[in-house]
Structure 1
Amino acid sequence: MAFYLKTFYTVLVLALTGGLDPTSVSAASPNPSLSYVGRVRAGYETTFTCTSNCIPGCTHTWLLKGCTFNGSELTWTPDGLDRIVELQCTAVNTESGSSKSITTILEVKNSVSVRPRPQLSLPILNQSFSLDCDGSFPGLPVLWYKDGQVVAPDARIDVLEHNTSLHFNSLLPSDGGFYQCEASMANLSDRKVISLGYLLNFDHWSVSISGPDTVLPGREYTFTCQVNCTIDLDCSIRWPLKGGILTSTYLSVNRNILKWIPSVPGTVQNFTCVVENTAAGRSAEASKTVKVTGPTVSGSETVRLSGVLGLVLCVGQLFLLDS
């Protein structure tokens, strides 16, 4: 008891006299930070560093995809199977035993993908069809997978151009599935990258845009991107701006619904709806041309409107491009 009272008294005196530095107490608790340089890319090494302000020191442990690693640095080469990965570093003070973790979400960029050839071609039963391992390196080994199983060439299926192309002489219903290719990295033959995949499906997406063909300035109109897929589950929706600047006093985009108040009569606006599933390598789009009718605006009035609407146009473009 005397020992604890003496220790307490010493700490109290030091604190009151300024002899106890508060930063030394806080330093006992780790405060880790995590850093790395550049993008995280499939097939390429990335080194992550975990630092902390520990006194006298800290040990560091990493948690990545369910595996633990020790040390203040971690070098990882993604194989392409994951697009989003959680990385955690835990720092433990070697003296006090106190610990703290920091977590970051990594987006893995993959330059290898499976694409139909020619692009945007659709699979049709009993007709020929080809898939390319886009991003693979010529002359290096390529392996094809369907639903996780290696594809074996046969009388109907050929592998061409150093295995970089998978060709079907005549498609059958049994050929439907999720296709991926495994590519070797240039100058690093021991490193393999699994590509982004392509879903070979005979149920094609149907896309159309409903809404009026002619509109009047100052009134709100609704346009709907009609699709036969489940939004936010099977597919996502974008409204990219194509063919010029959108002239409007109001613009709202919410998934497959676009609301618009046109402003300048005598103009024509093109709307495009893109439906896609980037993981499956599928996309489809539809376009609609809308004419703004009504009395023609004079030159001075046009200048005034363009000045007032300048900010709205910028915001409108951001909505369309980022939705």
Structure 2
Amino acid sequence: MGPSFLGAGDNAPFSCYASSNPPSFYKWFFNGSLVSNTSEYVSPPLTEDMSGTYTCMAYNNITGKNSSADKMLTVLAPVTMASIKIVGAQPIENHTFTLTCETTGSVESVIWMYNWSPLYADNRRNLSMDNTTLTFDPVMKYDNGNYQCVASNQFSRNYSHIFSLDVFYGPEMPTIMGPNAAKRGDNATFRCYASSNPPCSYEWFFNGSVVSDTSEYVASLLTGESSVMYTCMAYNNITGKNITTYTMLTVFDPIEDVQIETSMNPAIVGHFYNLTCNVTGTAEHFYWMKNGELLHEDNRTVFYMDNKIVTFNPLELNDTGLYQCMALNPFWNKTSPSYMLLMNYGPETPMIDGPAFAETGQSAVFTCSAKSVPPSHYSWWFNGSSAANSSVFTTDPLSFNMSGEYTCMAYNNVTENNSTNSKMLTVIEAISSVMIRITTVPINLDVFTLTCDVSGPYDMIYWMKDNMHLNMTNSTANPLMSYHIKNNILYFTPVNRVNDGTYECVATNQAGQHKSPKYMLLVNYGPLNVMISGPDKAKVGSSVSLTCSAETQPDCDFLWFFNNPLSPNVEAGPVITFSVTKENEGIYVCKARNPVTNIEMFQYKTFMVIGHASALHFHSRGVLMLMGVFALSFPVLFN
């Protein structure tokens, strides 16, 4: 049929067709007025008043019937203007603010753009039904930005100018920049700033009076020892709002002296206690140290009055130490001298050092000690009666009726506490003496005994050798040792040289040990390994010495014989010395005799004289005959 919408100035083409025989005749009507007698109709250039109903009527002159159809045409004028205007009050934050989009032309739709993106309604930004009005309820400063409205129809579009929204707000809470502390006599400069649109004006107040009408204020020649307040007021003449804030300035004097003091003496474990840091000058902070390390609060240690006072509730022993407090302000700091906090405590339960058993005739010494500061005073009680007033108590010589309970009481005159402990003493019959008795001489490989004679009752005895307990198992470990104990006798079966040493007999009872005097056991043996040292030959006229030696205990007696041990001896003693002559040539015989073991041993040495024909020609048979003579009477050792 034809278009439904066309822009002004266009030509609208219409065509009409109806099935008919014979073919129909056609007529076009616009709003009831005939405009064409053909099946096709093209309008003249359209104007807005040409919008309306276009009707086509088909007529069959044979059948006499006709039929018609309508077509609506809307002629749209071009959108020639879009402009954003403020409706009502200026944009003030937290107030309602409205923008409208004014247009000319046939506007079918209006959209809003915010910073070049489509803007949609939300819980704070509302659009009218035709989108021509944008309302902020309320407007906020973050709504600032570039706004544009776009008006359009099917054939044209128009963009408004850019509207930059600048919301008036503030002043917000001012910020003050400047010192919070200063020295007496100095100047202090403060600057006040508050976020605001348009920028706000400022006033400074001190003690209720205006002292400056600019954002900066200089307080000069500061005095006073306490905090003072300076107030800044910011004012926005568009929003009509003002807001104030303040800053505190503390004026400090130098810290001249710091001392730790307490009104509580003495410090007793388990009691409440406090230390106070007293300062001459102005202090802002206090810190406490113990033994050079920072002191922290815990469930017992608490700080009060900005750390000026530290309390201990209750005191414990480990609170003892060197305390210091540091006082400081932004310009000065000073640390107190060390304060020794010494805990007074105790006494704890005394410890008693003393015997449980003691012998008659002896004195028992009891020592009492208790952990306590200051040191405790002590008193002793025997079976409920006072016995001494010192930490050490020595009894009189004991008798059986002095058995009983000995009690020590410790008393601390600062804490006013006391504590007691007791010790039971049983007096027993004394061992009066312990002696080692011998009945035979210790000779190597003979049976030998040591007897321990004890005067007084005893529980047991044991033997010591060289200050060590004599272990009976040693005899099996070393086949040269063979000894055992029976009753109070130590048996050596037999005794030998490895048994040499210092022996003690120890008798014990409940009161302790009683040692015998030391007995030095030296086993007698020998002589063994008899030897003659000296030259085998020498020239006539020279001097010669021959020395006889032997392993023996005790020392041997020595006798010398020449050629025949049955002849009278020629010299006594270990050494024989002679001047060489031809008569000295021969066999020199040494006899070694132990006066304790009564053992004798012989040794010989053949001596030849150089420088003359020797008269000694010992054939092996002759030597054997001579040795046979030795053997008739004495044991012989051969060199």
TM-score by length of 1: 0.41
Larger radius of gyration: 2
With CA pairs under 8 Å and 6+ residues apart, which has the higher RCO, 1 or 2? 1
TM-score by length of 2: 0.23
Greater per-residue strand proportion = 2
